[in-house]
Amino acid sequence: MVTAKTVHESPRETNILTEADVVVVGAGPAGVTAAIAAAREGADTILMDRYGHLGGMATGGLVLMFNPSAGQGQEWMDRLNKVNGVHDLSRTSEPEWGHTRMVDPELLKCILNDMTLETGVRLLLHSWSSAAVVDNNTVKGVIFESKSGRQAVMGKVIIDATGDGDVYASAGAEFDASLDKGYRTSEMAMVFRIGGINFDKFAEFRKVQPQEWVKLREEGFELAGFHIAPIPGQRQDVFWVNNFIRGKNCLKVEDLNWVEVNVRKIMIPLYSFYKKVVPGFENSYLYDSASQIGTRGSRRLIGAHVLTGEEAKTGKKFDDTVLIFPRGVPLSWPADRPPENVEMPYRCLVPVKLDGLLAAGRCFSSDQAANSMFNVISHCIQMGQAAGTAAALAVQSKVQPREIDIKGLQKRLIAQGVELP
C-alpha cells in the first residue's frame, strides 16, 4: 500500500544463502583483521562488504597514512614493504609526519585479498547488509542486498565492523551518534590526490620559503571553502589531499550526496591553482579521488564498557584489556597525552544486552573524546584482531562472546604477536 508519506512493505520469506561460525560485516581495517583472526583460530568465517575490494577507508577511502602497529598491522606493513608499497615519511622532508607511513591503496587491496584467501576466509563482496536477524535477544545473521536480490547469511557470532554500527543499530543495540564540533570525528571528507609533482623542486621551495608555502596553502583552503592538508603521498610525485568538512552527518544520505558533489566541485580549481603558483606543481594533474566517502566518525556502541577520554588521559588499567594504544603513536593524541600506554577492555566490543554480536573498529564503545583519539587504522586493526579471536573462542567454547575466558583470549592474542600489558 502506498500513502503520501509511506510505502507499506509486505512480510516476506528471505532465502539463507549460507552460514558460518563467524560472519564479519564490513571489510575495513577492523573487519579484514577480525575475519583473518577468526579463521586462523579455526572458525569457518565469512567476510562481507558492500564494495568489491577490501580495506574500507584504508583503500577505497584513500586514507593512506598508517601508524606502525603490532600484531596483524605489522603483517600488513611487512607484506606491503615486500612489494614496495610503503613510503616512510620520515625519509622525506616532512618532519611533522615522520612517525607515520603512506601506503599504496591498490597494492593494499591485493595484499588484503591474499591474506584473507590464504586463511580460508570466504568473501562475500558487493553485498550490502541491510538488517540484523535477531531471535531471542541474539543476533543470528544478517540480511543483505546484492545483485542477486535480498538474502541472509547466518552465523554463530556476528561481528559488526561496518564502521557505522549498521548491524548493531538494526539489531536494537544502544548507541550514541552525537558528533559535536571540535572532535575530528565530526568531520567528513572526500580524499583526492594530485599527481605529476616534482617533489625535489617542491621540497626546495618549502625549505627556502616556508612562509610562502604556508601562505599558498592557506589560499588553497580559502579557495576550497574548507580545510585541506596536502601531504606527499606513497609516491613522492603524488600529493594526498585530505580534507575536513564540518556539519555533515554520514548517516544522512543527503549529506553523503553533498560531500560527494561539493568536494568534487573544487578539485579542478584547487589543483589548477597549485599548478599555477607552487614550484614543483607545474606539470601536476588530478590523479584520482576516493571511491569511498571519508567518514571519520559515526555511531558508537554503548557497550558493556564505554571507554572515555578521561580514562584514556589517565591511562586507566583493566583486567580484560585486549589491546593497548602505544603512547609512541602521536596521531590523534591530544596535547596532554597520557604518560603510559592506554588500555582498552574487551567489554568495549560487547553490547550491553544483545548476544551473538561483537563490534570492532571505529564504531566501538567509546565516548566522543576516546573515539576521536583511537579511531585510527592501527587501533582498528587491533580491535579487529581481538574481536575475531574472541568470536572464534566463543564458537569453540560454545558460549556467548560476553562469556568467553578472558585470560584465554589474552593468551591467544599474545601468541599472535599482540602487545598486551
Ligand X SMILES: Cc1cc2nc3c(=O)[nH]c(=O)nc-3n(C[C@H](O)[C@H](O)[C@H](O)COP(=O)(O)OP(=O)(O)OC[C@H]3O[C@@H](n4cnc5c(N)ncnc54)[C@H](O)[C@@H]3O)c2cc1C
Sites of contact with ligand X (CB under 6 A)? 25-31, 48-51, 56-58, 61, 63, 65-67, 128-129, 161-164, 166, 189, 191, 242, 294-296, 331, 361-362, 375-378, 380
Tell me the closest approach of the beta carbon of residue 371 to ligand X, in angstroms.
9
Tell me the closest approach of the beta carbon of residue 405 to ligand X, in angstroms.
26
Tell me the closest approach of the beta carbon of residue 256 to ligand X, in angstroms.
12
What does each C-alpha distance from 408 to 361, 377, 394, 403 come to in angstroms?
22, 26, 11, 12
386-420 in b/e form (b: 16+ CB < 10 A) is bbbbbbbbbbeeeebbbebebeebbebbeebebeb
Closer of 57 and 216 to ligand X (Cβ): 57
Q: Which of 400, 379, 381, 375 is nearest to 390 (CA)?
A: 400
Closer of 205 and 220 to ligand X (Cβ): 220
Closer of 163 and 356 to ligand X (Cβ): 163
Closer of 128 and 318 to ligand X (Cβ): 128
Residue facing ligand X at closest CB distance: 28
Tell me the closest approach of the beta carbon of residue 241 to ligand X, in angstroms.
10
Closer of 162 and 205 to ligand X (Cβ): 162
Tell me the closest approach of the beta carbon of residue 32 to ligand X, in angstroms.
8
Q: Measured between alpha carbons, how far is 110 from 106 in angstroms, rounded to an integer?
A: 7
Q: Is the dihedral of CA 30, 387, 43, 168 positive or negative?
A: negative
Closer of 85 and 294 to ligand X (Cβ): 294
Tell me the closest approach of the beta carbon of residue 24 to ligand X, in angstroms.
9
Closer of 69 and 416 to ligand X (Cβ): 69
Tell me the closest approach of the beta carbon of residue 239 to ligand X, in angstroms.
14
